[in-house]
Structure 1
Amino acid sequence: MISRDASGRSLDDVETAIQAAMLVSDVSALDLLISDDLIFIGPDGSQISKAADLDAHRTGTTRFERIEEIEREIVPSEAGGRTVLVADVTIIDHGKRIETRLRWERSWTVAEGLWQVTRGRVTPAR
């Protein structure tokens, strides 16, 4: 079972890191945390690629003003692990300000020594 990557980060550490990168649209950090082979499902059911996700942050199409964690679950596995996050967020999406509660589920594996998200989805949470 993988507990830490080559830089010493745990799943808990990288979940914290991805939230921080999302909050400030740190495209360089997100690029390292997201696998090139990402399959991510958005709240509307659409599939979002790594390139599209990074571009949304780079251009400001998607911008988080607040990610307030409500609940976090870390589930290690033989191949990597999974994180589940429920958070109250304020997000600017295509110029529209949205306040809501979301649930992210991310599957992580270690690639080239670093944790990376390979699969994920975000859905409305209640």
Structure 2
Amino acid sequence: MAETYITLSTGEKIVTKASEEQILQHITNDQGMMNKSFIVIGDVHIATAHIVKIETLDQTGEMEDLIHFDQADQTESTYPKDEEESKTQDRFELLEQELREAMQTRDIFLLDTLLHDDLVFINHEGSYLTKEMDLEAHRTLDVRFTEVSCKDLQIKTTKDGAVTISQIHLQGQAGDEKINGDYIYTRVWQLIGDQYQVIAGHCSML
């Protein structure tokens, strides 16, 4: 049976039953340019920037160095628990990276995807912010980041998501106020449908 192999820049390979044509149609526009920041294969989020090759091969049997994500067969794990935990950690590291990049580049589409509609966020001044308030600040350039870099990231996985605590260095401007300092972000990620989203968060200045 034909399977499509997605090779990532990390060397990892992911296998899916979706055809190469279906994947390319999903992540590219009519000019063949990438128009999606990430795709979802099974329960794994893949940043399209990390994809180096997509190919369809006729293969039989199992290959130990590949991850098989068949929608109809996800009840049993093919990895030891510690390796599964490592891959779960990697998944949330990638999501956190995507969120930082979206903040710095003002990628409204990606921010809209990663933040839950009912997001509850408390900023470093103790103010309550909704998702729409956050998106509007980026749309209107009221908040502009020139640097959003991570100095430390801790991830505690939960049954249906994770809690992340990261030390972030921010540079930029919020209104007339310049931003240049280190902040601690706490985020609660939860699986909503087939997408992990931030449902709650808090930021403190160091």
The answer, yes or no, to whether TM exceeds 0.5 is: yes
1: CA distance, partners of 2:168 / 2:108: 21
Which secondary structure does the structure 1 equivalent of 2:153 belong to? strand
The equivalent residue for 2:95 is 14
Which secondary structure does the structure 2 equivalent of 1:43 belong to? coil
Q: Which one of the candidate residues 61, 84, 89 is aligned to 2:170? A: 89
Q: Which one of the candidate residues 112, 132, 135 is aligned to 1:54? A: 135
Larger mean Cα displacement after TM superposition, 71-80 or 53-62: 71-80
Q: Which one of the candidate residues 29, 37, 52 is aligned to 2:118? A: 37
- 1:100-119: CA deviation from partner (whole Å, max 9, x where unpaired): 11111000001121110000
2: CA distance, partners of 1:95 / 1:59: 13
2: CA distance, partners of 1:45 / 1:11: 26
| Identity across matched positions, percent | 26
The structure with the largest strand share of the pair is 1
2: CA distance, partners of 1:94 / 1:86: 23
The structure with the larger Rg is: 2
Q: Which one of the candidate residues 175, 178, 189 is aligned to 1:108? A: 189
RMSD: 1.5
1: CA distance, partners of 2:138 / 2:98: 15
Tell me the CA shift for residue 22 of structure 1.
0.3
Tell me the CA shift for residue 68 of structure 1.
2.2
The equivalent residue for 1:78 is 159
Q: Which has the higher contact order (CA 8 A, sep 6+)?
A: 1
Ranges in structure 2 where 5+ consecutive residues have no aligned partner = 1-39, 46-90
The equivalent residue for 2:203 is 122
2: CA distance, partners of 1:6 / 1:124: 37
Tell me the CA shift for residue 69 of structure 1.
1.4
Q: Structure 1 pair 92/6, CA: closer, same or farther in 2 (3 Å)?
A: farther
- 1:47-105: CA deviation from partner (whole Å, max 9, x where unpaired): 10000000001110011111121111111011311111102210210032221111110
Q: Structure 1 pair 8/100, CA: closer, same or farther in 2 (3 Å)?
A: same
The TM-score, its normalising length taken from structure 1, stands at 0.91
The TM-score, its normalising length taken from structure 2, stands at 0.57
Tell me the CA shift for residue 6 of structure 1.
4.1
Tell me the CA shift for residue 17 of structure 1.
0.5
The residue type paired with residue 88 of structure 1 is H
2: CA distance, partners of 1:14 / 1:5: 14
Which secondary structure does the structure 1 equivalent of 2:112 belong to? helix
Tell me the CA shift for residue 13 of structure 1.
1.2
Equivalences, count: 122
